[in-house]
Amino acid sequence: MPQSQAQTTSNAAAVTMTFAVSSSMTVAATPASIVFTPTDSKNATASASIAIVTSWNLAVGGGNVFTVAYFASIPAALTNGTLNIPASDVFASVNGGAAAACTLANVNVAAGNPGAICPQIFGGIGVTAQGTHSDSLLLSLTSPTAFAVANYAGTITISAQAT
């Protein structure tokens, strides 16, 4: 007769698992740079529209998402260090709409510089908890006087906020 083998069982080990996902928002903008080309002494057009994608993953739906573009300086949206092109000479067309000057004081994003904010890019009211929205921003320059001869540079900041 074969000898019987005893079974041995170990203790049961428990492993606690956690997984935390924080709310997030991202804004992507392409291209990374644009060039303005003069159409005459007082006007210029951008080399391309800026494609903007706003994405969010929020704790709950039903809130609002706002995307805006703004300049750090009202008197110098573009500058060569001495000569300036003010934010009021920069016009923005959102998704092919009418162009308007970047002179707004408040469009729901606290990071914006009052007086140098372009027209609102996206205003999602009552959005779902997760989402993505794509927009197009075309910039142009228009001045009441001729632009002084210079090489100007500047940065436009695009950001989003959920409320």
CATH number, domain at 140?
Answer: 2.60.40.1090
Cα separation, 70 vs 104, in Å, equals: 9
34, 156 contact by CB (below 8 A): no
Q: For 6-32, b where at least 16 C-beta lie within 10 A, e where not — what string?
A: eeeeeeeeeeeeeeeeeeeeebebeee
Of 124, 68, 119, the C-alpha closest to 97 is 119
Asked if residue 29 belongs to a domain, the reply is: yes
Asked if residue 126 belongs to a domain, the reply is: yes
Domain count within the chain: 1
Full residue range of the structural domain in which residue 68 is found = 24-162
The residue type found at 77 is A
pLDDT digit string (tens) for the chain, length 163 residues: 566 678 899 999 999 999 998 999 999 999 999 999 999 999 999 999 999 999 999 988 888 999 999 998 899 999 999 999 999 999 999 999 999 999 988 765 655 566 788 998 999 999 999 999 999 999 999 999 999 999 999 999 999 988 8
Asked if residue 30 belongs to a domain, the reply is: yes
- Residue appearing with tokens 């372009």: 118
Q: pTM for the full model?
A: 0.85
C-alpha dihedral sign at 79, 85, 87, 93: negative
Asked if residue 57 belongs to a domain, the reply is: yes
Asked if residue 152 belongs to a domain, the reply is: yes
